[in-house]
Structure 1
Amino acid sequence: MRIAAEALQPQITEWAKQRPATSTPSALVGQQRALSALQQALSIAGRYAHGFIVTPAGMRTLDVLNEVQNEQHWLHANKFDWVYVANPESAYQPLCVNLPCGKANDFLIKLWEFLQADVSVRGPLKDFILETYTSERVAKYIALIEDRTFDDLPGSELATVIVTHDEHEPFMLCDRVTESTLFGSIRLQSVEGTISSDLHLIEAGAVLKANGGVLAIDAEELLIQPGLWRKLKYILRTSEFDWAQPGDANIAAYYQPEAIPVHIKVLLLGEREIYAQLRELDRDFDNLFPYLADFSSHYSLQKAPLAPYFDYLSYVVREAAVQPLAADAYSALFKFVTRITDFQTELSLDTIAIMQLLREACALATKAQSAEITGEHIRQALAQRDQRDGYIAELSRRSILEGQVYIATEGEVIGQINGLTVITAGGHEFGEPTRITATVHYGDGDIIDIDRKSELSGSIHTKGVMILSAYIANVFARNEAMALSATIVFEQSYHEVDGDSASLAELCCLLSALAEAPIQQGLAITGAVDQFGRVQAIGAVNEKIEGYFELCRIRGLTGHQGVIIPAANLSQLNLGDDVIKAVQANQFHVFAIEHVGQALELLTQSEQKQLYARIEQRLNELQHIDRELPWWRKFIAR
C-alpha cells in the first residue's frame, strides 16, 4: 500500500488551530494516574504507607511536587518544634521536648525565666508554661526541674532548637543525600584536649526537619550511600529516630540525646528500574512503600483531549523564560514533541527537552530582532541540532557515495536487497542502508547465516534468521526435505549485527535467489517477520526512512526509489519536510505492508504466486535429480 504524503506526519496543522485564547500554566497535565496514587498515599496514616514516584527523564521534579502539594494540600500529621534541653540527671543524655509550631524560641525564653526565678515564686510561671505549651514532654520536664536551679544542670548550655517551622510549610526535598543531610549529625569539640559534644553541636537532618510532614528523597542518591537505606527503613519501621554516636570508632565520646518520635510520609523519587530492583531485592520494600505514583513521559491524544496540553506548553514557556510563541510556531513544536515520543498521537512531556529547543529558538528570534518565536525559528534550531550531531552520519554516507561501501539505489539484482539499519553514536541516532545478499546451492535445506558463523550475529538477529528459515520450511518443505541450501550475509559489515528488523529483508533476499527473480535496488525495506510471513513492527522507523532518502536525494531522486515498512509502524511516522515534499512530488515513495508476499510483489514486480511457483518448480527438479544420484555423489555434493 502506497502511503499518501498526508499520513507521513501527525495532524500538526489541525492541532495548532485549536490553540485556546488563554491558558493556565500547569506541570501536571496528563498525570491523573500519578496524582491519584499520591492522594491515596497521603491520605493513609501509619508506618506502612509510603510511596515511590517514578520520575521520567526531563521532568522538573521540584516544579511537579510543588504544584501537587498546592493542589492536594499535603498534611500528614501534627507538626511540632523540637528542642533538646539539659538533663539534670545526665550531662550526656539531653532530653527532647516537642512544642507547637513556631513556639520553640518563646519557650526557651520562658524556660530561662523559670530557672532564674526563685523556687518559691515559680507557680504562676509554671502554670503559664503548661497552659501555653501544652505537651506531655513539656509537663514532664517542668516537673523534673521545678525545684532546680541553673547550678543543678550539668554543662554550660540550657537548650538548643533542633527543628522549628510553621504548620503550613510545604514538603521537604532531599536530593543531595548524605548521612548528615538526611539524618543530621552530632559534631565533636576539643576542650583542653578533651573530646566531647554539647547541645549546640546537634544538627538535624531532613528526616527531623520534615517530621510530621512529607519528605521526598532521591532514591538513586540514597541507595549509592552504604547503610543509609537500611537506616531509613529502621526509622520508618520503628517510628523513632535514634542518633548515631558522634565521631568514629577510634574516639570514645559517649553522647546520646533522647530518641525523637518520627511521624513522617516518605516519597522516594527515581527511575522505574530502581523501583523494580527494590521490589525484587528488598523484601521490606513492598511493605513500606506500597504506593506507586507513575508519572508519564507522554500525553496520549487517544485518551485525553488536546486542550490541556496547551496549559502544559504554557508552563514550559514560562519556565523557559522565552519570548511568546507565534501562531505558526505551534505546528513546528507539535512536530518536535511527537517525534520524541515516536507516535503520531502522543505528545512529549519532556519539559527539559522542550525548554532547550525553545531557548535555542528564542536566541534565533532575538538575533533576527523578532518579538515572537516563529515556526521558522524552531525549524532553524532543529536544523542546527542536526548539523551539530550529524558528523558521524555524514562520514558514513560519504563512504557510500565514494564507493567504499557498495549500495545500489538503481537497477535490479537477483539475491541482493537494501535493508535498513539504525546506528547510535554518542546518543544520536541515524539510519543507513545495508546491503544483504543471498546465494543458493545444492544441499540439504540449511540456511547458513555467515554473520553467525563468523560470530558477528547477536542473539536476536540469530532468532530472526531461524524464524525466516522456519517460514521457508513451512511453505516449501512440508512433505519432504529441500534439496537446496542457502547462505545469507550482511555485506561489508564488520561489527556485531543484532535485532530482527532485517529479517523481512533477509527473507525477501532468499526468496529472490530461490526464484531467480531480480529485486528493484531503488527500494529499501525494513521489518520483522514471523513463521507465517506476517510482517511485524520495528523501531526507529523515521530514522531509517530518512537515512535512505538522504542517500537517494544526494545521488538524485529518480521517482522509482522508496522504502517498504510494516503497516504496524504507520502510527509512528513523523518524517522530515523534505521527505514529505518528495513523496508529494512522486519522487520518493513509502509503502506499508502486512505480509511478505506484498513485499515480494513490490520488490520483484511479479505476483507472489508466480514467484512461489518458480521456486516449487526449481525444488521439484532438484528433488528429481537428488533421487537419481548415487549416495556417494550426494555426500560429495553436500
Structure 2
Amino acid sequence: MTKLAIPSKLTAQALMPDTQMLASQRPDKLESRPLVGQQRAVTALKQSLQIPGRYAHAYISTVAGVRTTDFLKAVIGQCEFQPQYVDWLYLANPDSAHRPVCVQVPAGNAGTVVEELVALLGATADERTQRQQAMIQAHQSDSLTNYLTRLGNLTFADLPGDELANVIVAHESTQPYYLCDRVTEASLFGSIRLQSVQGTISSNLHLIEPGALLRANGGILVIDAEELLRQEGLWRRLKHVLKTSEFHWPQPGDGSIAAYYEPQPIPVRLKVLLLGDRDIYAQLRELDRDFDNLFPYLADIAGHYSITQQPIADYFHYLYYVWQEANVLPLTDAAYAELLVFAARITDYQHELSLDSIALMQLLREANSLALAAKLERIDADQIQQSLLQSRHRSGYIAELSRRAILEEQVYIATSGSAVGQVNGLTVISAGGTEFGEPSRITATVHYGDGDIIDIERKSELSGNIHTKGVMILTAYIANLFARNEPMSLSATIVFEQSYHEVDGDSASMAELCCLLSALADIPLQQGLASTGAVDQFGRVQAIGAVNEKIEGYFEVCKARGLTGQQGVIIPTANLSQLNLSRDIARAVEANEFQIYAVGHVSEALELLSQTPEQEVFDRIRDRLHQLHRQEGQPSFWQRLTKRD
C-alpha cells in the first residue's frame, strides 16, 4: 500500500511575524519622518516642482489612511521650489466702467498701492508727477506703470463708475500650497456677483471674488480630482487655463439674469497637483488626450512598507511621527511589538508594515485612553491588545449572528467525522460594512452521464464570473486525468449548500475539486478539515485573499464546539507570507489542538482530507469508469429480449 505523503503542520511561530525581534531594532534616538516609504512618490513630485512650464503638473495617487497634507508639507519643505506670489488688484478703467484693469504688485503691497493711488488722485498737479514716480520706483510693476500712464491727470471724478479698486489677492504671509478640496466653480475659479440698483442689474469691482486658482497663482494649487470631475465643465475650464496660462472671467449671471462685465484676464503661472485614487488617474489617461501632456508626473503614494527591501529602523521614525501626531503617552517595548503586529495585519503580509497613519493613530489614542484610565505612565501591550479586542467586538455583531446559526445547526456545518462528497470550504462574507470568514458546506453527487460537471450556483444564476471560471478549470483538470482517451460516463453536480447569495471568486476551487474526486471515488473526506485555495488546470494550488479572516472564522466555530485536535485548515503554500493570526490560534496550534497545513498541489490536500494515497483515489475512479464502459458495451435487457425473439 502506498504511503501517505502528508504535508507537515505549520508551527505556531509561522503564524505571525516575529515582532519581538523587529521591536528590538528600534533606534535609541527617533525623529519624525512622515515620508518614510514614500521615496518613489517624493522623487516624482520633486521632479514636477523643479521643472517650470505649463506641461509639468503632477497627479498624486493617494491611498486611504495616509495624511496627504503632511506628505505635501514635508515634500515641499525638502525641495527647492520657490513660489513667486504677487498681489493682484482690479482698478477702475479710465475708458470703461465695465472693463476693469488687472494690475500686479509685489506680494504684500496691494493695500499700500490702493492708499497711494487714492492720494494720487487727490493730489495737486504739482505733486502728481512726484507721487507717480515714487509709486513706480517703490513697487516695480510694469502693469502698475502702464496704469499710471493711462491715468494721466485724471481725478477720481473723471473715472467711470463709483469704485476705484478691489484687492483680489493679497499675500500678507505666504503658505506652501493652497488646497481646494471642496471644489465648486466659485471655490476654484471665483465669481462675479450681480447687484440690483433701482431695478438695474449690474456688477462692480467689489463684487469680484477670487477662487483658489488665483490665490495660488505663482505657487502650488492642490485640487481634489474626484470633486473636480463631479462638477460638469470644471475640468475642461481648468485645462484651458493651464494650456493658455491665462484666466478669463465668465460673464456674471445665468441664463435668465445677466449683465455685461468683463474684467481684464489675469496671467496664470502656477503648479497644479491633482489628488485622487488610481481609478480616476486611469480614467483621465484613457478618456482625455490632453491629460498626459499636462500631468506627466505620477506621484504614487505607498500604503505599505516592505521590511525586506528597506531597513526596519526607518519605520520606527515613521511611528515616531504617528506617535507625535496622536499626542499620546510613551510606548513600552512590548507595546511597540504589539503595534507592529497590527501594522502587519492590515497589510495582509508578514514582511510589510502599514503606512495607514490614521488607523495607527486611532489605535494609539484608544490604547492611550485605557492607559490613562488605569493611571499608567506608558502604554503597554495589554492596552494595545485590549483596544484591538474592543474594535473586533464593535464590528463583530453580524459575524456572531452568522456563527450562532452554525452552532445552533440552522446552518449545517460538520466539524467532525467523515462523509463522501462533502467538504468544508472557507469563505469571506461581506455584509453590513464588515467582512468576516466562515465555513461553507460544499457537496457533490455523481450520476451516469457524459462527463459534465453541473454547477448548481451557475444554473440558479447565483454564480459570479470568477467562480464560474474556477469550476471550468477544475472540470478541465478532471477531464485531463480521466477523459484523455475516452469519454467519461459519469457526470456530477456541485453546490454550496444553504447559500442564498451570489458566490464569486475561485478560492473554493481546491475544496470543490476534492469534493468532486471524493464523490467520483466514493471515498469519504475528513469533516474536521476545512480548505481554501484556487487551482489551475494542472492541480497547482494558487494564492487566495483574506486567508487570516477565513482561518479565524473556522477556528471560532471549532473553538465554540470544542477543539479536538482533529480540526484544522488547509491553505495554499503561497499564502504563508500573509499569515498573521490571533494568539488564540497560535496557542491552539502549539498545544496540537488545531492544525494548519500548507499545500502546493491539490493531491496533497486530497490525501489530507481522504487519508488515502492519491494514486489509490485515482485508481478507484478509473476502475469505476471502466466498469461503466464495459456495461455500456453489453446489450440492455430489452435488446437481449428482442434478439431472442
TM-score range (shorter-chain normalised) is over 0.9
Matched, 1:357 2:363: yes
Matched, 1:68 2:70: no
Match of 2:30 among 18, 23, 28: 23
> 1:522·1:562 contact (CA, 8 Å) conserved in 2?
yes
Match of 1:9 among 5, 16, 32: 16
1:552 deviates by 0.8
Match of 1:42 among 45, 49, 63: 49
Matched, 1:97 2:106: no
Q: Which residue does 1:108 correspond to in 2?
A: 114
Match of 1:420 among 426, 432, 441: 426
Match of 2:225 among 215, 219, 222: 219
Q: For the structure 1 residues 632 and 480, does the alpha-carbon distance in structure 2 shift closer, same or farther, using more than 3 Å as the test? A: farther
Q: Which residue does 1:537 correspond to in 2?
A: 543
Match of 1:118 among 114, 124, 138: 124
> 1:42·1:75 contact (CA, 8 Å) conserved in 2?
no
Aligned amino acid, residue 518 of structure 1: P
1:70 deviates by 1.3
Q: Which residue does 1:480 correspond to in 2?
A: 486
| Unaligned residue ranges in structure 2 (runs of 5+) | 1-6, 640-645
Q: Distance in 2 between matches of 1:511 and 1:581?
A: 34
Q: Which residue does 1:568 correspond to in 2?
A: 574
Q: Distance in 2 between matches of 1:252 and 1:400?
A: 68
Q: In terms of mean alpha carbon deviation, does 40-49 or 498-507 score higher? A: 40-49
Structure 1, residues 192-246: CA drift from partner, whole Å, max 9, x if none? Answer: 3322222122111111100011000111111111221111111111111111122
Structure 1, residues 389-444: CA drift from partner, whole Å, max 9, x if none? Answer: 11111111111111211111111111111111110122321111111111122221
Matched, 1:348 2:365: no
Structure 1, residues 164-206: CA drift from partner, whole Å, max 9, x if none? Answer: 1158531111111111111111222232332222212211111
Following superposition of structure 1 onto structure 2, how do residues 232-251 of structure 1 map, counting pairs within 5 Å? 232-251=238-257
Q: Which residue does 1:431 correspond to in 2?
A: 437
Aligned amino acid, residue 260 of structure 1: I
Structure 1, residues 609-631: CA drift from partner, whole Å, max 9, x if none? Answer: 12112222222122111222459
What's the secondary structure of 1:489's corresponding residue?
Answer: strand
Q: Which residue does 1:331 correspond to in 2?
A: 337
What's the secondary structure of 2:505's corresponding residue?
Answer: coil
Q: Distance in 2 between matches of 1:632 and 1:262?
A: 94
> 1:87·1:94 contact (CA, 8 Å) conserved in 2?
yes
Q: Which residue does 1:595 correspond to in 2?
A: 601
1:487 deviates by 1.4
Q: In terms of mean alpha carbon deviation, does 189-198 or 138-147 score higher? A: 189-198
> 1:119·1:148 contact (CA, 8 Å) conserved in 2?
no
Q: Distance in 1 between matches of 2:134 and 2:65?
A: 54
Matched, 1:196 2:188: no
Q: For the structure 1 residues 434 and 109, does the alpha-carbon distance in structure 2 shift closer, same or farther, using more than 3 Å as the test? A: same
RMSD after superposition: 1.6
Q: Distance in 2 between matches of 1:292 and 1:363?
A: 40
Aligned amino acid, residue 448 of structure 2: Y
Q: Which residue does 2:317 correspond to in 1?
A: 311
1:119 deviates by 2.5
Q: Distance in 2 between matches of 1:282 and 1:502?
A: 40
Aligned residues: 633
Q: Which residue does 1:173 correspond to in 2?
A: 179
> 2:50·2:80 contact (CA, 8 Å) conserved in 1?
no
Match of 1:148 among 130, 149, 154: 154
Q: Distance in 1 between matches of 2:615 and 2:401?
A: 42
What's the secondary structure of 2:64's corresponding residue?
Answer: coil
Aligned amino acid, residue 272 of structure 2: V
> 1:119·1:146 contact (CA, 8 Å) conserved in 2?
no
Aligned amino acid, residue 146 of structure 2: K
Q: Which residue does 1:457 correspond to in 2?
A: 463
1:112 deviates by 2.2
Q: Distance in 2 between matches of 1:545 and 1:399?
A: 18
Q: Which residue does 2:64 correspond to in 1?
A: 57
Q: Which residue does 1:636 correspond to in 2?
A: none
| Unaligned residue ranges in structure 1 (runs of 5+) | 634-638
Match of 1:553 among 529, 550, 559: 559
Aligned amino acid, residue 108 of structure 1: V
Q: In terms of mean alpha carbon deviation, does 227-236 or 541-550 score higher? A: 227-236
Q: Distance in 2 between matches of 1:184 and 1:608?
A: 73
Q: Distance in 2 between matches of 1:299 and 1:10?
A: 14
Q: Distance in 2 between matches of 1:429 and 1:506?
A: 23
Q: For the structure 1 residues 101 and 432, does the alpha-carbon distance in structure 2 shift closer, same or farther, using more than 3 Å as the test? A: same
